[in-house]
């Protein structure tokens, strides 16, 4: 007995779900400090161009396969490739990446949930910067506390996905995506009143060549892939829930546009606070949990600002985590003919269990000696494997499949429909999928893996 395919109730429903998936911790957590480390304005421009010129074509390709096959990643590509094992690897890479990301993503999201509670209680008021940094260190090394938040976040995600596409994912994506946008606007409005706002504008939008090089371009491209949820199997599943009349090109532009706007708003939230107190914009991953909480204590209405910020952090995490669980569960439903609740419960439990080593990564309470042997703790190792290898390789196979293997006549109308272009637009899109995007993905893999350092050749 086959699985009945649900569909989005409206285009707005798909838009909120896709934007919610894209606007995850990559935008709020990774985007600001990555911009900071790569010099600001020129990197932002490179990121926007990568989203528009590389991200959107591949985003369209993943939606197209899902919509055309009306199936998730593995079974969808399998049906379109006559079940050729190599091409199905693309789907498997997407499912594996979503599974692994969810396992450690919920740990990071759990830290955010802890900081919501800490902000409500005003715990770090009166603490100096060193003490606040030590507080995060203490939290990350407190395995029992992190395990609790890891469990709670996974449970919340599971409950949402339990209810299906319409009553679960679409309904809650609508609520949380609207909420996070409103909270973000409130925080930006507040940041506009700070002394550092003008410095932040200059930093974000003014090109700085001294901190920009070829690796910055590849970093921008990699960030575009991550923030658009590419190579993770998500848009295969979300595309399969689209109706026949839904326009792939149009919806892709809406999602990319919303992502760029929210990313800029996130930067306009963080950097004015950073520059007001002369902190370093390139502080790194500790910017959210170690620098900002200290800076919040110096602001008027500090407790409210901190609460709003970390609620925003958790909301962005949830809108992405439901997509991670959904991707794996949907593929299990189709491959093994499982009911939704069985698939979701299985995926949630296994990601929770697999995430336990990430919970104890900072404390060294699990897999003792891991960091000494592999050079980073378990959580960072999983993050590195996914971002450097699994997502790019999965994306590469997808582009090769679309550009070289997929029946072009069968999908021609899907690409052209809604583009207000004609055959010429399809030719440009197909050329990009066949040559440009695979080449760029190979460059990302070579640079980020350390196999080749292009800065050595190009300065």
Segments making up each domain of the chain, as ranges: 11-458
Mean pLDDT of the chain: 88
Task: Report the greatest alpha carbon distance in the chain.
Answer: 66
Q: What is the dihedral of CA 457, 223, 389, 385, to 10 degrees?
A: 120
pLDDT of amino acid 1: 42
pLDDT of amino acid 146: 96
| Gap between the Cα atoms of 369 and 348, Å rounded | 28
Average pLDDT of span 385-407 = 92
- Assign domain 11-458 one CATH number from 3.30.460, 1.10.4160, 1.10.10, 1.10.3470: 1.10.4160
Which pTM value belongs to this model? 0.92
Looking at the predicted structure, is the pLDDT value of residue 416 above 70?
Answer: no
46-75 residue pLDDT tens: 999 999 989 999 999 999 999 989 999 999
Which residues make Cβ contacts (< 8 Å) with residue 141, sequence separation at least 6? Answer: 362, 363
pLDDT of amino acid 111: 95
| Residues 256 and 51 sit within 8 Å (Cβ to Cβ) | yes
244-280 residue pLDDT tens: 888 888 899 999 999 999 889 988 988 888 888 887 7
Q: How many helices (H) and strands (E) does the chain have?
A: 26, 0
Most confident of 94-108, 178-192, 203-217: 94-108
pLDDT of amino acid 96: 97
Looking at the predicted structure, is the pLDDT value of residue 21 above 70?
Answer: yes
Residue 211, judged by CB atoms within 10 A of its CB (0-12, 13-18, 19+), counts as middle
DSSP helix/strand/coil, 160: helix
Angle formed at CA 216 by CA 213 and CA 218, multiple of 5 degrees: 120
Looking at the predicted structure, is the pLDDT value of residue 218 above 70?
Answer: yes
């Amino acid at each position: 007995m086959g699985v009945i395919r649900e569909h989005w109730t409206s285009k707005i429903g798909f838009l909120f779900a896709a934007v919610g998936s894209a606007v995850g911790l990559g935008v709020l957590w990774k985007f600001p400090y990555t911009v900071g480390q790569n010099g600001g304005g020129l990197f932002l421009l490179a990121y926007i161009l990568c989203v528009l010129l590389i991200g959107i074509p591949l985003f369209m390709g993943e939606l197209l396969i899902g919509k055309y096959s009306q199936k998730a990643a593995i079974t969808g590509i399998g049906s379109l490739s006559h079940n050729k094992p190599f091409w199905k690897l693309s789907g498997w890479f997407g499912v594996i990446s979503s599974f692994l990301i969810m396992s450690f993503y919920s740990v990071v999201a759990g830290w955010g949930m802890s900081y919501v509670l800490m902000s409500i209680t005003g715990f770090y008021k009166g603490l100096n910067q060193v003490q606040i940094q030590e507080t995060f260190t203490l939290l990350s090394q407190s395995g029992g506390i992190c395990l609790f938040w890891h469990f709670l976040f996974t449970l919340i995600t599971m409950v949402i996905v339990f209810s299906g596409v319409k009553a679960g994912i679409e309904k809650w994506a609508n609520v949380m995506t609207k909420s996070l946008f409103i909270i973000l606007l409130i925080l930006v409005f507040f940041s506009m009143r700070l002394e550092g706002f003008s410095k932040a504008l200059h930093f974000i939008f003014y090109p700085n060549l001294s901190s920009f090089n070829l690796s910055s371009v590849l970093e921008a491209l990699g960030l575009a892939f991550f923030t658009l949820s590419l190579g993770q199997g998500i848009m295969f599943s979300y595309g399969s829930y689209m109706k026949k009349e839904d326009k792939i090109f149009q919806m892709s532009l809406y999602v990319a546009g919303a992502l760029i706007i929210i990313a800029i708003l996130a930067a306009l939230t963080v950097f004015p606070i950073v520059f007001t107190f002369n902190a370093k914009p390139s502080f790194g991953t500790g910017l959210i949990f170690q620098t900002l909480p200290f800076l919040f204590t110096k602001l008027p209405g500090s407790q409210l600002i901190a609460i709003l910020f970390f609620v925003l952090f958790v909301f962005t995490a949830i809108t992405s985590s439901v997509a991670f669980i959904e991707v794996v569960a949907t593929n299990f439903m189709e491959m093994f003919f499982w009911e939704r609740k069985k698939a979701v419960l299985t995926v949630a439990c296994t990601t929770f269990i697999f995430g336990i080593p990430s919970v104890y990564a900072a404390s060294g309470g699990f897999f003792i000696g891991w960091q000494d042997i592999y050079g980073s703790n378990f959580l960072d190792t999983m993050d590195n494997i996914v971002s450097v290898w699994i997502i790019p390789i999965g994306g590469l196979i997808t582009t090769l499949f679309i550009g070289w293997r997929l029946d072009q006549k069968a999908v021609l109308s899907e690409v052209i429909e809604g583009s207000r272009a004609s055959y010429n637009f399809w030719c440009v899109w197909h050329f990009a999928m066949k040559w440009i995007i695979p080449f760029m993905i190979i460059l990302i893999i070579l640079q980020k893996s350390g196999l080749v350092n292009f800065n050595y050749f190009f300065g």
